[in-house]
Structure 1
Amino acid sequence: MFKHAKESQVEITQLMLPSHSNFSGKIHGGHILNLMDQIAFACASKHSNHYCVTASVNRVDFLNPIEVGELVTLKASINYTGKTSMVVGLRVESENIQRGEVKHCNSSYFTMVAKDENGKNALVPGLILDSVQSIRRFARSIARQEQAKTRTTKFKSSEFKIEEHIEHIKTQNAQIAL
């Protein structure tokens, strides 16, 4: 079985309240991450027709601060499907409703795994790639997975080669005291 990404896309908008702010008066990143996890769950669950859990989050960069009183819109779409997992692409935007200004605040990729009623991994429908953009997103997810495998292996303690990194580390804000 295969599905179009449009079938499971989810979008939510929420007003940012003072209770969501941190000590500097900006919206707390943890609150945004919580919202992102919720919408990734909703999107993946819609696609798979199963309860889903977060397996990993790939890179979260907070690009612009979000102010109290702004509307935050989160958009989620399935970018990739494996056998039991999905990569959900997320975009976070904030809108100053008084000025009508919209800012891109964050993009991220959540890997979600479908679970059956016994908590075992469940098969998910494949993704119908019906545009150049959908193919690009799918291919990017494959590349990201391959990069993650390389990173994991290269820095595994049994595989780590200090001589490959020591000179670069010396140029950083660190003091080596071996």
Structure 2
Amino acid sequence: MEAKPARLSRTVLTEIILPADTNYHNTVFGGRVMQYIDKVATIASMRHSRRGVVTASSDSLDFYAPVKLGEAIQLEAFVTWTHRSSMEVFVKIESENLLTGEKKRTANSYLTFVALDEYGQPVAVPGIIPETEEEKRLFETAEMRYAARKLRKEERNLQL
């Protein structure tokens, strides 16, 4: 199976934050951000694998700044690394004050998706070709995150 450039999976989602999306601080609910993250990462992983996918794990979600009522939230996702049937997807989240144009990094997240065949079984996915500096940096550090996920899974299984 031939590897694909990471850019082919790149997906951008932009939404405006409305009152129903906000908490009592007039900032977006964290759960709403998580919903957007899962949606944009699903699309990126499907673009890469051209298969149906399932979310296998959400490794991290680090918030840096709130997104306020009336601001736009923009999520950009792409596949950073693959294993046999799994794909690591990086999502960066920014907010934009639509009146001033000020943008700020809001959060980062890493998720893992597994590609499925028509019977719902894991299926092999293409490798990744990183091209930009960001893609190369994330690709080079992905095996370390994969090992941490694997260790976390083993520890969880011991607790069950």
Same topology, TM > 0.5:
yes
Change (3 A) 1:155 1:11: closer
| Equivalent residues, number | 158
SS in 2 for 1:31: helix
Aligned residue for 2:74? 73
Q: 1:79 to 1:154 in 2, by over 3 A?
A: same
**Matching residue of 1:56:** 57
1:17 corresponds to which residue?
A: 18
Map of 1:87 onto structure 2: 88
| 2:85 aligned partner, one-letter code | T
SS of 2:61's partner is: coil
More contact order relative to length (CA 8 Å, sep ≥ 6): 2
Deviation of the 1:138 alpha carbon: 1.4
Residue 9 of structure 2: aligned partner: 8
Partner of 1:126: 127
What amino acid maps onto 2:112 in structure 1? T
Q: Which amino acid aligns with 1:111?
A: T
Query: Does the C-alpha gap of structure 1 residues 123 and 153 become closer, same or farther in structure 2, counting only changes over 3 Å?
Result: closer
Q: Which runs of 4+ in 1 moved over 6 A?
A: none
Larger Rg: 1
User: Quick check: 9-18 or 139-148, which moved more?
Assistant: 139-148
Summarize the Cα distance change of 1:66–1:121 in structure 2 as closer, same or farther, 3 Å threshold.
Answer: same
Tell me how far 1:134 sits from its aligned partner: 2.7
Return the alpha-carbon distance in structure 2 between the equivalents of residues 13 and 105 of structure 1: 13
Q: Percent identity?
A: 33
1:142 and 1:53 mapped to 2: Cα distance? 20
20-29 or 32-41: bigger deviation: 20-29
Tell me, in whole angstroms, the C-alpha distance in 2 between the residues paired with 1:156 and 1:39.
Answer: 29
- 1:59-90 per-residue CA deviation (whole Å, 9 max, x = no partner) reads 11111011111011100011001110100110
Relative to structure 2, which stretch is displaced further, 122-131 or 13-22?
Answer: 122-131
CA RMSD after TM alignment: 1.8
The amino acid of 1:27's aligned partner reads V
Residue 111 to residue 70, structure 1, CA distance change in 2 (3 Å) = same
AA in 1 matched with 2:37: M
Which sections of structure 2, spanning at least 5 residues, go unmatched? none
User: What do the CA deviations read for 1:108-160 (whole angstroms, capped 9, x no partner)?
Assistant: 111011111111111111112334543321121111122334455568758xx
TM-score normalized by structure 2? 0.90
Please report how far the alpha carbon of residue 23 of structure 1 lies from its aligned counterpart in structure 2 after TM superposition.
2.4
Pair 84,60 (structure 1): closer, same or farther in 2 beyond 3 Å: same
